[in-house]
A and B are shown apart, each in its own frame.
Chain A
């Protein structure tokens, strides 16, 4: 009996840790700490570089990186274990999962997308079943996160005709040569859409359409339709880059705005971005609980 309980408990903890691993990655676990407010302020005070045609130059790496020689610290520098990293009430991974699941859903009403009432039940269903076969979060299945869920790029490469937004496993092309979106009958239905950009002063305004309607706006079940239209605004001030997005979708009562994010340019001219591990979904069939956070 004891053995069965022990095996069951280990299984539960492994399942919880497996689910939690995405969370650890999302928190930037193992990466350098984010820049301080003082560093951000100093970076913003630098001159904003311009391209020969007069528009701001967004080229650069917009995350802090670790040098090749630097050792990656243990999960917890004192104990080397996950226990203190999983910030639950007790350090118990089950408590971590439940605390995280409750806490991460503390999203003020004004910051949630306001779905039309006929879709409320589906959002709730998606939220409850986001880590089950019934309504899996596409991000959990290793699908591209979609726009704007994908957020700010790690790196930007800019030419006069286009900007390449580079993310850990994806890239987007933003055409800034004056072209428009293709007519709707030519849309392909994609995860990251078709993006065109134009300048409003020093702000790059990116319009993205042509989605497949499978991507979610956020992990608590916020699904979308293929007619989603996203407007992103990016502004470089000195060595900082600020991003925010607004989503319109026929599923929503009103446009939904993301929170504003600001990143600092990586000042290291030798900075390199490590190749990320591939995303391979192997957990869904083994998860025995709908708790997630």
Chain B
């Protein structure tokens, strides 16, 4: 019996040594573990290779009006998002069970809404685009609050990032900074420059919660149930959360279940429509 107990203790010690430690405070090791645990580092050179991602999901949403008021909860029939960290950009296409379809885009320092069609307004006669330049900062924030975005933003902050341990979890706190373009990331932060971001990691160093206070409001994204959500014959070993909850000042504005992703750096471009370029 004693022999079994000793064996069990030995096994537990071996497992503990094999698993990453959730209380690591060495900055470089934490950055590495964050990127590696999401499958971002590829080839023997371990290069950050996540540049673009597509996401499909469903859930509920509360629309935030131009004045910042939060509207009633609506069922999301389909949500389709394109993310690009290299220019950077995000297109968020939400079809509600009841209510309008909205397509919100940010690309670099331009923001606009597309009417009816993805890419509307790029070509005469193919949809239209309405400038939404006052939304640039908030939409860029969505990009940098995604798990991949938070990892890239933390690394860009470099030695300005502080690593602490709270309730047994590693926490990375850093200001959002501008940085020159790299192959798979271009840190464009606009008005967000200097805004502190707090990333709480789970036991495997994946972002479990990302918190930002901006324009007097608290934005919190919570992520759980990470997995490779690409289709079964298209796995990439890149891990995204199956569940995401976004709150503003404690009120849930998006409760999303991710059904599917394409993490093979899909074709995503977001040229700025001429009408939007002129609006600056």
Given contacts A87-B44, A89-B44, A117-B119, contact A102 B126 (CB under 8 A): no
Find B123's partner among A88, A95, A98, A116 (CB 8 Å cutoff): A116
Q: A28 interface residue, CB < 8 Å from B?
A: no
Nearest CB in chain A to that of B127: its residue: A117
Residues of A within 8 A of B184 (CB): 106
CB distance from A97 to the nearest CB of B (A): 10
Q: Kindly supply a per-residue 1/0 record for chain B positions 37-56, scoring 1 wherever the CB is within 8 Å of any chain A CB and 0 otherwise.
A: 00001111011011100100
**Contact status A102-B264, CB under 8 Å:** yes
**Contact status B118-A109, CB under 8 Å:** no
Task: Determine the interface band of chain A, counting residues with CB < 8 A from chain B.
Answer: 20 to 34
Nearest CB in chain B to that of A108: its residue: B86
Within 8 A of B (CB), among A161-205: none
Nearest CB in chain B to that of A87: its residue: B44
Find A102's partner among B117, B122, B236 (CB 8 Å cutoff): B236
Given contacts A87-B44, A128-B262, A253-B271, contact A102 B49 (CB under 8 A): yes
Q: B277 interface residue, CB < 8 Å from A?
A: no
Chain B interface residues toward A at CB < 8 A? 41-44, 46-47, 49-51, 54, 84, 86-87, 117-120, 122-123, 126-127, 183-184, 231, 233-238, 262-269, 271
Q: Can you give 30 contacting A-B residue pairs, CB < 8 Å?
A: A87-B43, A89-B41, A89-B44, A98-B235, A99-B43, A99-B49, A100-B43, A101-B236, A103-B47, A106-B51, A108-B183, A109-B84, A109-B269, A112-B267, A112-B269, A114-B271, A115-B269, A116-B122, A116-B123, A117-B119, A117-B126, A120-B118, A120-B267, A123-B267, A124-B54, A127-B266, A127-B267, A220-B267, A253-B122, A289-B234
By Cβ-Cβ distance, the 6 closest A-B pairs, closest first, are A117-B119, A105-B265, A99-B42, A123-B267, A290-B234, A289-B233
Beyond contacts A89-B44, A114-B271, A117-B126: 13 other A-B pairs, Cβ-Cβ < 8 A, are A98-B235, A102-B265, A106-B49, A108-B86, A109-B87, A112-B267, A117-B118, A117-B123, A118-B119, A120-B119, A127-B266, A253-B271, A291-B235
